[in-house]
Amino acid sequence: MSIDGKDAKITLGPLLFNWPEAKRRDFYFRVADEADVDSVILGEVVCSKRTPFMTKLWEEVIERMRAAGKEPIMSTQALILSSREMGWMRDIVADPGIYYEANDIAVADMLKGRPHLIGPMMNVYNEGTLATLARGGADRVCLPFEMSGETTAVIAKAGIMEVEAFVYGRMPLAIAARCYHARAYNLPKDNCRYVCNLHNDGMTVDTLEGKPFLTVNGTQTMSYTVNNLAAEIPQYLEMGVSRFRISPHDVDIVRIADLFRGVLLGRVEPQQVLDETEGLVDGAPNSNGFFYDEEGLRYKVAE
């Protein structure tokens, strides 16, 4: 069943980078007041060491989002490494009045019986997996970043739950116990000095030939290119995808949201979005290869 662009919704995904508290507060308050998005995902996904400093901020931001008529969603870690972190996750998901995103199967189990969102860090590649998660209470899924358009169509048309596509931002490719950001500065993970806060959109990794290749964000490896599926939105709508996720970066995210809303409503051409965003994040080019089942760093012109 196809979706009318007027009925589609835009989600601002969780901030994956380690911004200072004041910068985060200003960012989210502006999003609440100005950004044309329907839902805003908060919380820490990448590193548990960042979590304790943000608890009070999330309370303020949730209140601000609700006052602005936006749906606040609290996300959770993509990799849980200790019993202490497991305890933190239990504490985070303890509030029955908040809608949560699970990025680890352990958190999905904690949320069993309650409506929740399955995040893109979970390996959902077929209808069987989705049906199993639906029986646990999940009613929405943001599909993995590397999902092709062909597979997305199969899952969306199954109608098991509401489907969201990741349409803008650097793509998280892997997450590990080791902190590559700290290692780059000859620091151990336990005494990292939070050097990840030196790079608002992640630290670029070059090949031996000096070409930018990947991005490091703490324990997370990301694409250097920026996934931009503005031109593929009509195909997504035809498939039945009803939600579209934009990932926060140190750019004018209000403008990015306006552009994607314009595409959904048919008042902005996708090429305008591509032109305005090319090189916007650290000079990185747009890419869409995964949608066409090709290398993710490529950009293929939509037919």
How would you label 1-34 residue by residue, b for 16+ Cβ within 10 Å and e otherwise?
Answer: eebebeebbbbbbbbbbbbeeeebbebbeebbee
Confidence of residue 52 (pLDDT cuts 50, 70, 90): low
Which of 287, 293, 289 lies closest to 274 in space, CA to CA? 287
242: Cα within 13 Å, side-chain hemisphere: 16
Considering Cα of 190, then 80, then 10, then 111, what sign does the dihedral take?
negative
Confidence of residue 191 (pLDDT cuts 50, 70, 90): confident
pLDDT score of 270: 97
From the options 2.60.40.1530, 3.30.460.80, 3.40.50.970, 3.20.20.70, give the CATH code of 5-292: 3.20.20.70
Other residues' Cβ atoms within 10 Å of the Cβ of residue 48: 17
pTM of the complete model: 0.95
- 131, 232, 100, 169: CA torsion to nearest 10: 140
Task: Give the CA angle between residues 213, 219, 223 to the nearest 5°.
Answer: 25
Q: How far apart are CA 269 and CA 142, in angstroms?
A: 24
Length of the chain: 303
Tokens of 179: 């902190």
- 14, 17, 22, 23: CA torsion to nearest 10: -90
Tokens of 196: 């990840």
Q: Provide, rounded to the nearest whole percent, the portion of the chain with pLDDT above 70.
A: 98
Other residues' Cβ atoms within 10 Å of the Cβ of residue 81: 12
Domain ranges of the chain: 5-292
Q: How does pLDDT run across 57-97, given as a tens digit for each residue?
A: 899 999 999 999 999 999 999 999 889 899 989 999 999 99
